[in-house]
Structures are given as structure tokens and as C-alpha cells.
Chain A
């Protein structure tokens, strides 16, 4: 009999992201002991990834109003009527000097042909990889955050240089980049790279997928072709995204309005929201096996034109399957990490 006396401590480490491989295995083992355990673990992960709310206090709104008024009063006292002309203010002068000093540096640096490539020095490369079925949050040395999806890898030099923050990505990641106007943040993936100063965006670049996808939540980013930076060079605005077809080599823009499902899918996976935006069967299988870390075996012939649209929030695999199986007419069995999906001939239309 296995000893699960300190299971709460180990679960805590898994949630915190500080668990060792043995500890992760231990938790998996515990989860497999009983359905209730698995349910509890999945939900705990869900709870941990969301902010817990606080109840409001009785005088909440009143106190808020009062403080806002007092804040505005203090402001008036601080700024007296005699204001200094714009160009005489110290910060303006400092800003002008900085611009004068740095403009040549900046403009040279941003020449398109000088596309930054990671320096080749004797540096330590950090590599973080997630197996299937596991997501993680990574803090970069500059304070930026990266949510790394399952079956994905990022690598970067341990200490970013003075002029560049460069990351290599395989798979999918969501970036929350700390602003640093003197040090662009560059994500290299397959044949593209994304260059930003400080913003929030998501990149999806799985080797086996047909497309690459960049989705921008805030700020603006530049998307370039790694081979020929002058050619791609698309600037994205917040709330828009780009799909790059690897086969054809062209870009297809989309926006949050024109394709809300795809947009949300790109940005919400980090909160545990699994979204299918009209996928066919093979995409569905790929997604499920990545998300839940299962090996999928298909028996019988799946129907053409699946077009599955659904949304699940921190849901157990069995619940997802139950719902989809009902609609699409298949049966399944799940043994450990192996999932068998069976299509019955009589059921298919």
C-alpha cells in the first residue's frame, strides 16, 4: 500500500510548480487511486489558476466613493495654478536628451536587415519543456511571464543580453512581456519571429500542425519571416491575430470579432478553457491527447466533416468525452493513459 500521508504537501508543490518528477508521479498515482481523487485534483488545479474572490464589505461602494473624492482633493492641492511651461519641465528636458542620445542607437538597431539573432557566446541555455497533459507558468529573468502549454518547449539564454531578450518556442505559449523599450523581446518559432517591446500575446506553433498562429491581446507586435525579415513584416494591433500557412507561406489575418472562437481558444487555454472551434476529428484527437496527456487509439472509421464546436472549463477528460460521444455517436474506454474511441458502423449516418 502506498503512503499518501503528506499528499496535501505534494499537491501544493505540484500547484506551485515546484514539484520534482517523483512528486508529480506520486500525485498522478494518487489521482489514479480513485475517481474522487482525480476529480479533486483537477478542480484544485482549476481553483489554483483562478483568483479567488472576496466578498464585499457593507460599506464598500460608499468607501470607494469617499476615497475617490479625497484622492481628487489631494491632487488639486498638489498641483498649484502656476504650472511650468511644457518644454521647461525637467522630465521633458531629460526625455529630449535621452531621445537625442539614443536615437542613433535605436534607429541602427531597428534596421530590418539587422534582425537580432541570439548571441553566440559561452552562455547557459535554459530549456523548459512540458510533457503532454501538463501546463506551466515560467518566470523569465526580466520579470516577463510565460504560460507554456502541454507538449511545448521554450529555451533561452540564462541571462538576457543588454540589447535583446530572445526566446525559442516549439508548441504553444502565452507571453506577458514586461515593457523594456531598449530591449526588444523576440520569440523565434519555426520560420517566423515575433518582435515586441512589452505586451501580451499568444503563439501557437506545434510541429505537426498545418498553421502557425499569433494572437495579440494587448499592445502591438511585429511578425517577421526569419529567413527574409523584409518580406513578412506584419504589425498586429490588440484584439487581432494572424494565421500563417506553412504550406503556402502566406498570412491570414483574423480579429476577435471575426473569429471569436479562435481568438478565445488562443488566449484562454492558460486558464484551463478547452475550446473547439469547428475542428475535424483528427484535430480533436490531437488536442485531446495533448491537453490530457493520453494516447488515443481509434477503431472504426470516423465520419467526415466533424465540425465540433464546444467549450469546457477545467473539465475532466471523461466529462468531455461523455458530452462529445453523445453528440457524435461513438463509444470510448479509458484505461490509465490509453483512450480507445470506437465508431459503431450502425451509428454513422
Chain B
């Protein structure tokens, strides 16, 4: 999120107790943080617990929260650290491991958000699917670098991989997207140049 926008949001939450601001903040990060936590803890319910703790701890800092620089990096790092300490505290129960992929069971079937998919909707959905189908770690690397303005170094530290590996993940993500786009282009060639929406968007 935009640092300024994010600060406004956090300010509204901790100072004005604004529930709508909290809702936006939560929607923005929840799924992503759960996925990050799942790289460390084995079960979905554990990840959910870890992320809930992080949310509460952070917001419990109140005004001092606003002084944190690079909040997004901080948030992700905190989820990682909490996940690891959760494991340490929870060693006894570590037997019943479930694969990371069990997150698929908890994801909602692609629910439509008409606001976000106005134009070129089928292409938008396709690309969304490509990103979602990336292996968990790769998808996270892609989103962290692209959306959270995090450096390769920061991402590498959080995911415990080298900067070089971060780059390789990104390249492969780009490759997947690029190939999906090429395929889409080939299949829809005749339809692409002029869609009805574009006609309509031009008023005389």
C-alpha cells in the first residue's frame, strides 16, 4: 500500500478506532500474511492464530505504531518471527504435519468483485489465476517485491533464501505470466483489436 495511505489508515485505526479502516487494512494483508506464515508453520489454523496475534500485537502498540518506518517490511518480518517462535513453543504438537497446499481448501471460490474487473475481465481473471497458481513461495516473492516495495534483500531474509534465488523466482513468475499472455493473444487475436466496451467508451 502507499506509505501515506497506509499511515492514514493506521492512524484511523489506532486513534479514531475506525472499524472501516481496520476492515480495509485486514482485507489488504490477511490472506497474504497467512500464506507467509504457512511457509513456516505446518497447519492452516496455526497460521491463522499466528497472524491474528501479529495483528493484535501491532495494533496494541497504538500511536507508537505510526513511528515504524517501512511498515510493510516490518509486518512481514513480524509474521515470520512469530511463526518461528510459535513452532518452538509448540514442538510437542509438531507431529501431525499437513502439507502447505492445504490452504487451497480454505480459499474461497473466485468470488466476483465487479468493481475490480471492469474492462478486459477475462484477461484479468486469467492473469489472476496464473499468479495464484505459482508455487506458494514464488507467488509471495512476486507480490512482496511488486506490491510491498520490498528489496530483494528484505524478501530474502524473510523467506530465508538468497537474493539470487529471489531474482530467479521473479524471473520464473514473469515467464509464466508472459507465456500466459502470449497464449491469450494467439487465441483471441481476432477479438482483441476492437471490443464493444471500447466502442462505448468513446462518446461523440
Which residues in A have some Cβ–Cβ distance to B below 8 Å? 8-9, 11-12, 15-16, 35-37, 39-40, 43-44, 47-48, 51-60, 63-64, 66-68, 70-72, 74-75, 78, 143, 145, 176-179, 198, 200, 218, 307-313, 315, 318-319, 322-324, 326-327
Which stretch, B17-25, B80-88, B93-101, touches the partner chain A?
Answer: B17-25
Residues of chain B from 171 to 195 with CB closer than 8 A to chain A in the complex:
171-172, 174-175, 177-178, 181-182, 185-186, 192-194
When A and B form their complex, which 7 residue pairs have the shortest distance between CB atoms, in order from nearest? A54-B31, A40-B181, A8-B171, A310-B202, A8-B174, A36-B182, A323-B198
Tell me the nearest residue of chain A to B147, going by C-beta.
A51
Q: Verify B198–A53 contact, CB threshold 8 A.
A: no
Interface SS of A by simple majority? helix
In the complex, residue of chain A having the shortest beta-carbon distance to the beta carbon of B145: A16
Can you name 25 A-B residue pairings with CB atoms under 8 Å? Answer: A8-B171, A9-B167, A11-B174, A11-B178, A40-B185, A44-B174, A51-B1, A52-B146, A54-B31, A56-B30, A56-B111, A58-B108, A59-B48, A60-B108, A64-B22, A64-B27, A67-B55, A71-B55, A71-B56, A145-B2, A145-B3, A177-B4, A218-B8, A309-B203, A311-B201
Question: Is A198 within 8 A of B146, CB to CB?
Answer: no
Q: Which residue of A lies closest to B117 (CB)?
A: A53
B70 (CB) vs chain A CBs: closest residue = A143
A327 touches B2 (CB 8 A): no
Residues of B within 8 A of A (CB): 1-4, 8, 17, 19, 22-23, 26-27, 30-32, 34-35, 48, 52, 55-56, 59-60, 62, 106-108, 110-111, 113, 116, 119-120, 123, 127-128, 131-132, 142-143, 145-147, 167, 170-172, 174-175, 177-178, 181-182, 185-186, 192-194, 198-199, 201-204
| B32 near A9: Cβ-Cβ < 8 Å | no
Q: DSSP majority for the B interface?
A: helix
Please give, as numbers and ranges, the residues of chain B lying within 8 Å of A311 by CB-CB distance: 201
Which of B1, B26, B62, B132 has the most chain A CB atoms inside 10 A of its CB? B26
CA distance A68 to B147 in the complex (A): 25
Look across to chain B and name the residue whose beta carbon is closest to the beta carbon of A60. Answer: B30
